[in-house]
Amino acid sequence: MTTKNSRKKESGIDVLLREKGSYPPPKEFSRASRVGSFSELKKIRQGSLLNPEKFWNLAAQELFWFKPWRKTLEWKPPFAKWFVGGKTNACYNALDRHLTGFRRHKAALIWEGENKEKRVLTYLQLHREVCRAANALKNLGIQSGDRVAIYMPMIPEAVIAILACARIGAPHNVVFAGFSASALSERIQDAQAKLVITADGFFRKGLIVKPKDVVDEALKSAPSVQKVLVVNRGIVENTSWIEGRDVDWFEVLSEASENCPAAKLDSEHPLFILYTSGSTGKPKGILHTTGGYLVQAAWTTKYVFDLKDEDLFWCTADIGWVTGHSYVVYGPLLNGATIFMYEGAPMHPAPDRFWDMIERHKISVLYTAPTAIRAFMRLGESWPQKHDLSSLRLLGSVGEPINPEAWQWYHKNIGRGRCPIVDTWWQTETGSIMISPLPGATPSKPGSASLPLPGIDAEVVDREGKPVSLGTGGYLVIRKPWPGMLRTIYGNPARYKEQYFSQVRAPGKKGIPYYFTGDGARKDKDGYFWILGRIDDVLNVSGHRLSTMEIESALVSHPAVAEAAVVGRPDNLTGQAVSAFVTLKEGQNPDESLKREISEYVGRTISPIAKPADLRFTPLLPKTRSGKIMRRLLREIAAGGAVKGDITTLEDLGALEKLQSREED
């Protein structure tokens, strides 16, 4: 064991370098990167923690502001305002700013369709399209502050739509195009969106998916929507059309002027609402505002990906998730980078589609999810081996802890041992990356997201808010506000306060509330953070966040179901998998076809990602005396592990109920 004294003599880096399984950044990489050594990073971090406002104040100066801010932060816990009094515009910063210099004719976006159709938009061209779209929105009656729902596939128009909204100050509400009509409708209604932007179709695994049909269905119960703007790619015959409501994107854009000044918006003007699952049945509309979000998105993209003008940056996330917002669209464009975007499925037409695109387009930075890596891993090394991946210089991971085995595979087979891997921890709520290595500075330990970034005061604490000792598990909290933090849950500030700022406070009677992430974590002897996963009723399936309650309410809305409980179980591919326990109504026949039907029904009600991986019928659900479902017990059963005693079958749950209820109460 290292004693306090012996550790003092060595710097942290020596310890890390000695340690087996730690990967220092390659020397050539460090030499060419912005922060090229661990000691330099530590200095920046320490300085930033003494005065985070000063740190972020400096970062904010890299953006364009119509009017400078008076005050960096106004913190009235739990409500924060950043860059108070400043005026700026997300779209202006992402596009206009690059038009006066050498980036004017640089590719902003390189896109490939699943059918290998290709499009390239330079900054000038993207700007033109965005201005036209922004004017089209105005012509359709959209004003600053009006919410616009975006239900679109991964096509350039999705980026154009997002930026057009930002340009005129209309908060966008992107809904993942895999969500069902009822999930879409719920989100549109909660945001009271006035307009929906969608497309006739997109390609997925060689088939045509038709989001416009889903929008039509969703709007039957979402009366706030007045217009639907449809990107007609012409891949769907006879797209349904409601005269007076539906508007053709290309038609209105061709008539719209390409001159559209960016609105001068308050730093705290809402930029977007993005729904995510919480621990109740109702999704939360996470609200992000302009100035602070942009500052952190820009900073993290620049430093975590050490982005250079020569890079081709590919974040594989869908624009329907926060990763798509911050690292497909805003972060890279704020840095004047070239983004790569792909429409379709990762394994289509063959399991080497990703590697093929990396080779053909010479992609240099790849940012993807552990679940994707594990899926590739299963198919073997031969698929990436067919390709020249020498253009890659950096790899990223996000969405869930990356298991060391997948890390090694990624490092060896994709990074060919040359590329650092940044394991980035963050959330929809945090807006941008919070805990991550800097690729030229931080030695990596597979499975750990390493250290909080400069300006971020993350800590692992106990219930009383006290940091736990190294090696011990605790609550992952953020102790001080950060610029990209969510500002509220749309329309529900009470839930915002309750959900994020009521569980853990600074020690002492009048301790300020800490932001509680919902994750458990531990720190190792070098202060590295190891994320242990959610400690609430939230599941993480393939990096997608699902609420057990939301799936339960979908299950009980099926006519045959009386009661349902959903838990997560470990899964080798998806990280966690949805495991459902269902009690049927009297007279229902518990057979395989009903199982399938109920599963499909969940897929239709929420999204195919929410479909239970296993569904079991049980005559009883184990409950405590107060009527709470004993989830711990169900989790153990779902995982196939031994339940206390030797009772492992569901049939025994009724008997078990009595046995266990005392201790769970």
**Number of other residues whose CB lies within 10 A of the CB of residue 138:** 18
CB 402 within 8 A of CB 446: yes
178 binds ligand WT7 (CB under 6 A): no
Q: At what angle do helices 291-304 and 52-60 cross, to 10 degrees?
A: 90
Q: Single out the segment in contact with ligand WT7 by CB under 6 A; choices: 295-303, 318-326, 461-469, 605-613.
A: 318-326
Find the binder of ligand WT7 among 398, 594, 615, 638 (CB under 6 A): 398
Q: Closest distance between ligand WT7 and the C-beta of residue 136, in Å? A: 31
Question: In terms of CB distance, is 231 or 531 closer to ligand WT7?
Answer: 531
The 266-285 site mask, x for binding ligand WT7 (CB under 6 A), equals ----------x---------
Helix, strand and coil in the chain, % to nearest 5: 35, 25, 40
Q: Give the helix/strand (H/E) hosting 38.
A: helix 38-50
Residues 321-340 that bind ligand WT7 (CB under 6 A): 321-323
Rg (CA), the chain: 25
Which of 200, 268, 400, 537 touches ligand WT7 (CB under 6 A)? 400
Choose which of 401, 415, 465, 483 interacts with ligand WT7 (CB under 6 A): 401
Distance of closest approach, residue 272 Cβ to ligand WT7, in angstroms:
14
Nearer to ligand WT7, 260 or 458 (CB): 458
Q: Looking at beta carbons only, is 168 or 287 nearer to ligand WT7?
A: 287
**Residue in 340, 425, 515, 528 binding ligand WT7, rule: CB under 6 A:** 425
Using CB under 6 A as the criterion, what x/- string covers residues 445-474 for binding ligand WT7? ----x-------------------------
* Residue burial 500-527, b: 16+ Cβ < 10 Å; e: rest: bbebbbbeeeeeebbbbbbbbbbbeebe
Minimum gap (Å) between residue 344 Cβ and ligand WT7: 20
* Least spacing, CB of residue 560 vs ligand WT7, in Å: 31
Q: What CA–CA distance (Å, rounded) separates 325 from 311?
A: 19
With CB under 6 A as the contact rule, the residue among 190, 216, 519, 526 that binds ligand WT7 is 519
- Using an 8 Å Cβ cutoff, are 275 and 173 in contact? yes
Q: How many residues bind ligand WT7 (CB under 6 A)?
A: 24
Angle at 462 between CA 459 and CA 467, to 5 degrees: 40
User: Least Å distance between CB 318 and ligand WT7?
Assistant: 11
Out of 88, 338, 424, 574, the only residue in the binding site for ligand WT7 (CB under 6 A) is: 424
Regarding 427 and contact with ligand WT7 (CB under 6 A), the answer is yes
Q: Is 441 left (phi over 0), alpha (psi -120 to 50) or beta?
A: alpha
How near is the Cβ of 532 to ligand WT7 at its closest, in Å? 9
- The DSSP secondary-structure symbol of 369 reads -
The one segment of 113-121, 531-539, 589-597, 644-652 that binds ligand WT7 by CB under 6 A: 531-539
- Per-residue DSSP letters for 107-164? EEEEEE-TT--EEEEEHHHHHHHHHHHHHHHHHTT--TT--EEEE--SSHHHHHHHHH
What single letter denotes the amino acid at residue 587?
Answer: G
CA distance 320 to 176: 4
Binding site for ligand WT7 (CB under 6 A): 276, 321-323, 398-401, 423-428, 449, 517-519, 531, 533-534, 540, 543, 545
